[in-house]
Amino acid sequence: MNPKPLLDIEDIHVEVEGKEIVRGITLKIFPGETHAIMGRNGSGKSSLSNALMGHPSYQITHGKASLNGQNLLDLSADKRSRAGLFLAFQYPMAIPGVTVANFLRAAIKARRGPEADMSDFRKLFKKEMDALAIDHSFATRYLNDGFSGGEKKRVEILQMAMLQPTMALLDETDSGLDIDALKTVSEGINRFRSDDTGVLMVTHYQRLLNYVKPQHVHVMINGRLVKSGGPELALKLEERGYDWVEEELSRSTGA
């Protein structure tokens, strides 16, 4: 019996301010799989992630998307989160006045439900902070306020570890990270991965994929997935760039 997809995307189109950015993406991610979408700036990678999470600026105009068989497009962003979807932002927002600890406590309570037992919060919080080499003083700092790029990304992965989603969308989590921070963040992603979860990574570069090994790599150009393969495809992109993919695409379409 074949397993059912964890995340099932069929012919998704996305508009931003009336302009179509994503032009028909179909992708199935099964439990235990890690996929990477690579492409140049402006190819539509981040637009796809934001639209799937329910960001109001990204309108899905056509297609279907489901998580564990549940129609995502019928759900608000908070309900998509409760269904098990998580998005690590490329540019995490600062929230002055709200501490990291209070933010995470509220997020977990919203995920578990208002009557949820939160007695394990402090223990889990300290454990995950230690695993990500985040100083405990960050618990009382305002979320992302004055944080470096690396600190913001570590806190994003901390949120993922605490919320324990089933499907994680990681939007250029490697951007702005030095090598030490990249290794720590990658270790956090690898701890999250299991036979029951899925990961979709959006990135420009091979370097994240050196630490978080995907089974499937896809190339996005002009809002479409134009080529798919295994980890060797990412290595080829690192060596040759994206020009050869565009040339191959032109030859196949006769453009």
Q: CA end-to-end span of the chain, whole Å?
A: 42
Considering the entire predicted model, what is its pTM?
Answer: 0.92
Which pLDDT score is estimated for 219?
A: 96
34 with 212: CB under 8 angstroms? Answer: yes
Can you tell me which residue has the tokens 């080499």?
133
The Cα 6–Cα 125 span in angstroms is: 27
- Identify the structural domains of the chain with CATH numbers, from first to last: 7-253 (3.40.50.300)
- pLDDT tens for each residue of 162-220: 999 999 999 999 888 889 989 999 999 999 999 999 999 999 888 899 999 999 999 99
Which pLDDT score is estimated for 2?
A: 61
The Cα 27–Cα 43 span in angstroms is: 16
Residues (pLDDT < 50) of the chain are 1
